[in-house]
Amino acid sequence: MKFRPRDREEPEINLIPFIDVLLVILIFLMLTTTYSKFTELQLTLPVADAEQMRERPKEIIVAVAADGRYAVNKAGVEGRDVERMAAALRAAAPAGAESIVIISADAMAPHQSVITVMEAARRVGLTQITFATQSAASAVPAPR
């Protein structure tokens, strides 16, 4: 008896099931992934209360002019350094650390001027800082 050798078929890898599984995994990952935006700012906006007192003894209003000059509660501050601003804020803080600093800066004021006010407030221990703005409807266009 002579046995004939059988033709051996070459083994082959079927990639279609592999691709199907990878596509299912890819779709699952795309649907379950949450995308977070790291450029968002988390802000807590102040709430206006009409019943609040008109007189606000805890507020310190710091005005920053376009050329970098400062005024604390409508009184001009000599110099533009942090130490002089800190001294002016310390003198104007009737409630101590509970006082609120409101920075009202001109739109064209240098960024460093606002940072100087914030640094002076930090040195004095005033941690509550807010910024005054106006709505676009009430803004007066600058003369050209």
Q: For the whole model, what pTM was predicted? A: 0.55
Q: Quick count: other Cβ atoms within 10 Å of Cβ 124?
A: 22
Which secondary structure element, helix H or strand E, spans residue 105, and what is its range? strand 100-105
Is the model's pLDDT at 143 over the cut of 70? Answer: no
Q: What is the pLDDT of residues 102-118, one digit of tens each?
A: 888 888 888 888 899 89
The domains found in the chain, sorted by start residue, are 59-131 (3.30.420.270)
Rg (CA), the chain: 33
How far apart, in whole angstroms, are the C-alpha atoms of residue 30 and residue 25? 9
How far apart, in whole angstroms, are the C-alpha atoms of residue 136 and residue 98? 31
Cα 28 off chain centre by = 34
Q: What is the pLDDT of residues 58-69, one digit of tens each?
A: 888 888 888 888
Region 40-56 average pLDDT:
55
> What's the DSSP call for residue 97?
G
Q: Is the Cβ–Cβ distance between 37 and 78 less than 8 Å?
A: no
